[in-house]
């Protein structure tokens, strides 16, 4: 009887360790906030994500990895030229538990001949830039 209880306890402990491993429960999250005058669309992981002015979009449960993104944006009707600066395109590096915050703002400058719309993108990450992926297999590399 004592051996059966010890065996049962061992199986339970091993099961708990196996099925509650931290990897499946570590989430990556991307938050996109649009404070610009126009709508922005973020092309990320083969999907277009629309973010209206003043809105925030949160994407949960993103797999870890490196993802390229591009930004498409609308401009006000009276604008004659438009530019985009900062983090409007690039790579998002998602390691286990990463939170990415992508903020868009805009400005309009008016001169005697042109009205220019400038979209600014700013991306920050919760990760230390030198942090290694805790789940990457680094043996032999």
The pLDDT of residue 78: 86
Query: In this predicted model, what pLDDT tens digit does every residue of 81-120 receive, in sequence order?
Result: 999 999 999 999 988 888 999 999 999 999 989 999 999 9
Q: Check if the beta carbon of residue 49 is closer than 8 Å to that of residue 59.
A: yes
Q: Which structural domain, as residue segments, surrounds residue 72?
A: 26-125
Q: Per-residue b/e over 111-136, b at no fewer than 16 CB within 10 Å?
A: eeeebebbbbbebebebeeeeeeeee
Mean pLDDT of 115-137: 80
* Structural domain includes residue 58: yes
* Structural domain includes residue 91: yes
* Reported pTM: 0.74
Q: How many separate domains does the chain show?
A: 1
Query: In this predicted model, what pLDDT tens digit does every residue of 38-59 receive, in sequence order?
Result: 999 999 999 999 999 999 999 9
For position 100, which CATH number holds? 2.60.40
* Structural domain includes residue 70: yes
Q: How long is the chain?
A: 141
Distance CA 78, CA 61 (A): 40
* Structural domain includes residue 34: yes
Distance CA 106, CA 120 (A): 6
Question: Which residues on adjacent β-strands are paired with residue 65?
Answer: 94
User: What band does 133 get if pLDDT is binned at 50, 70 and 90?
Assistant: low
């Amino acid at each position: 009887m004592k051996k059966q209880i010890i065996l049962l306890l061992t199986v339970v402990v091993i099961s708990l360790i196996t099925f509650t491993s931290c990897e499946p429960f570590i989430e990556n999250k991307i938050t996109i906030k649009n404070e610009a005058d126009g709508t922005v669309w973020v092309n990320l992981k083969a999907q277009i994500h629309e973010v209206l002015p003043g809105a925030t979009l949160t994407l949960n449960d993103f797999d870890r990895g490196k993802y390229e993104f591009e930004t498409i944006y609308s401009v006000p009707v009276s604008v004659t030229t438009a530019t985009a600066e900062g983090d409007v395109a690039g790579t998002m590096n998602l390691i286990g538990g990463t939170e990415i915050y992508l903020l868009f703002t805009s400005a309009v400058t008016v001169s005697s001949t042109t009205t220019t719309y400038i979209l600014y993108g700013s991306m920050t990450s919760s990760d230390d830039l030198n942090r290694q992926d805790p789940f990457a297999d680094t043996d032999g590399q």
